[in-house]
């Protein structure tokens, strides 16, 4: 080895030694696993706090609400604190966004939500010529009010957003919303099941809109492309379907994912289902 080769080799070795020890792909995991409480809605209706307690006992540390079952924001917060849970986000109805936004933001602060999310748009509005345009304008408007209040507004997809819309000149509504809403005001909670059902690849959107997806719904599906009407027979607990979770979560950093919420719209056995999904994600490495 000549002197130049020796010096270059020594410099390279020194740089490698000084580089931070990044974890290998096999060591990466989801640190905090959440549950969308729609999964246990029937149990919550009968026993609100008891259901929350059972969710916490499985090991979940975050929950996402889809209704408070007539409990006040203060009472909801007390129950969460009692069982060691936080609730980063909640789903709300469209009329709440239109007519009850200030009080919704106030409730979010009390409970501890950082995100308020609108899941989908009702079919009558989707079929109107300006339905998606009005939705985008509303989302930007409430997103601006939310941001001023320290809350982030977001939109949750189903599968219909990936069907070309005549009112948008054949463009997919999901692409339209991403293009027509300000990313600072409107972020996305991607339902990884429904986008897969629609035959689209989440990674395409992660690449095109990096950092736009701070929350995801994690639920599985059997049998490739389908439609929402088949959910009772083809939706599966996480790890029991066909979705390649390692492939998706390997790109979590690019997507900007911070919160992972397990969901199963129609589980055969509620608490067995949420345990099965939790244990799969707890043990998953990617």
Packed helices 73-82 and 101-111: angle between N→C axes, nearest 10 degrees: 20
Whether 180 is covered by a domain: the verdict is: yes
Whether 3 is covered by a domain: the verdict is: no
- 121-179 pLDDT, tens digit each: 999 999 999 999 999 999 999 999 999 999 999 999 999 999 999 999 999 999 999 99
Neighbour count for residue 110 (Cβ, 10 Å) = 13
Whether 23 is covered by a domain: the verdict is: no
Whether 21 is covered by a domain: the verdict is: no
- 144-159 pLDDT, tens digit each: 999 999 999 999 999 9
To which residue do tokens 């740089």 refer?
15
Average pLDDT over residues 259-280: 97
Write down the pLDDT at residue 233. Answer: 61
> Into how many domains does the chain fold?
1
* Nearest-angstrom CA–CA distance, 44 and 99: 26
Q: Is the pLDDT of residue 3 over 60?
A: no
CATH number for position 179? 3.20.20.150
Is 64 in a helix, a strand, or coil? strand
Whether 189 is covered by a domain: the verdict is: yes
Whether 99 is covered by a domain: the verdict is: yes
* Nearest-angstrom CA–CA distance, 30 and 62: 12
254 contacts 270 by C-beta, under 8 angstroms: no
* Nearest-angstrom CA–CA distance, 95 and 118: 10
* Nearest-angstrom CA–CA distance, 65 and 191: 15
At residue 231 the predicted structure's pLDDT band, cuts being 50, 70 and 90, is low
Closest by Cα among 170, 216, 176 to 196: 216
Q: Is the pLDDT of residue 93 over 80?
A: yes
Q: Parallel, antiparallel, or unpaired for β 62-65 and 259-262?
A: unpaired
Q: 123 Cβ partners below 8 Å, 6+ apart?
A: none
Whether 13 is covered by a domain: the verdict is: no
Neighbour count for residue 59 (Cβ, 10 Å) = 14
31 contacts 252 by C-beta, under 8 angstroms: no
Phi/psi of residue 258, each to 5°?
Answer: -120, -25
Whether 16 is covered by a domain: the verdict is: no
* Nearest-angstrom CA–CA distance, 182 and 152: 12
Range of the domain at 72: 31-283
Q: 73 Cβ partners below 8 Å, 6+ apart?
A: 106, 107, 110, 111
Neighbour count for residue 58 (Cβ, 10 Å) = 17
Question: 0.75 cut: is pTM over it?
Answer: yes
* Nearest-angstrom CA–CA distance, 267 and 68: 21
Write down the pLDDT at residue 2. Answer: 47
């Amino acid at each position: 080895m000549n002197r130049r080769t020796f010096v270059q080799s020594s410099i390279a070795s020194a740089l490698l030694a000084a580089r931070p020890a990044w974890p290998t792909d096999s060591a990466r995991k989801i640190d905090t696993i959440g549950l969308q409480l729609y999964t246990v809605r029937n149990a919550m209706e009968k026993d609100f706090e008891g259901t929350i307690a059972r969710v916490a006992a499985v090991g979940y540390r975050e929950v996402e609400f889809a209704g408070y079952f007539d409990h006040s924001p203060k009472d909801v917060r007390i129950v969460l604190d009692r069982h060691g849970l936080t609730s980063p986000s909640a789903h709300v109805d469209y009329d709440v966004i239109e007519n009850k936004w200030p009080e919704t933001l106030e409730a979010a602060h009390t409970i501890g939500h950082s995100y308020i999310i609108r899941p989908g748009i009702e079919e009558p509005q989707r079929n109107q010529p300006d339905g998606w345009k009005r939705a985008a304008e509303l989302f930007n408007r409430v997103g601006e009010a939310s941001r001023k209040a320290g809350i982030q507004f977001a939109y949750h997809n189903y599968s219909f957003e990936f069907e070309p819309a005549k009112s948008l000149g054949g463009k997919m509504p999901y692409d339209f919303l991403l293009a027509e809403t300000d990313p600072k005001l409107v972020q996305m909670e991607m339902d990884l099941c429904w986008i897969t059902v629609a035959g689209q690849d989440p990674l395409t959107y992660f690449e095109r809109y990096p950092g736009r997806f701070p929350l995801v719904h994690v639920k599985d599906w059997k049998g490739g492309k389908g439609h929402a009407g088949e959910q009772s027979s083809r939706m599966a607990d996480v790890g029991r379907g066909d979705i390649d979770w390692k492939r998706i979560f390997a790109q979590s950093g690019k997507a900007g994912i911070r919160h992972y919420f397990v969901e199963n719209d129609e589980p055969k056995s509620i608490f067995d289902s949420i345990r099965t999904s939790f244990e799969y994600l707890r043990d998953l490495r990617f």
